[in-house]
Amino acid sequence: MPINLTAEDREIIIQVGLRVKNLRNNLGISQDELALRADTTKSQVFRIEHGEINCTLATLGRFAKALGVNIKELFEYD
């Protein structure tokens, strides 16, 4: 059964995706490079950065490691 996301849920997904994108840009790496470092696909990086998918904590953990940050930093946004 699909989970119905609230507007607040969707906002969190969008903000975390934007945080991933900002951290990636600050490192000066491409979506391709992040995908390689995080053992995923460029398509998944794009979809997460644009808030299109609700990714797993495991995926966020791989992104944090690839970006050289603690996972909690992915949730630090305004």
- pLDDT higher than 70, residue 1: no
Count Cβ atoms within 10 A of the Cβ of residue 70 and give its class: 0-12 exposed, 13-18 middle, 19 or more buried. exposed
Amino acid in the structure at residue 55: C
First to last CA, the chain: 32
pTM (two decimals)? 0.92
Confidence of residue 55 (pLDDT cuts 50, 70, 90): very high
Domain boundaries, the chain: 7-75
- pLDDT higher than 90, residue 47: yes
C-beta neighbour count of 52 within 10 angstroms: 14
Do 31 and 45 form a contact (C-beta atoms < 8 A)? yes
Tokens of 36: 């390689």
CATH of domain 7-75: 1.10.260.40
> pLDDT per residue over 6-34, tens digit each?
999 999 999 999 999 999 999 999 999 99
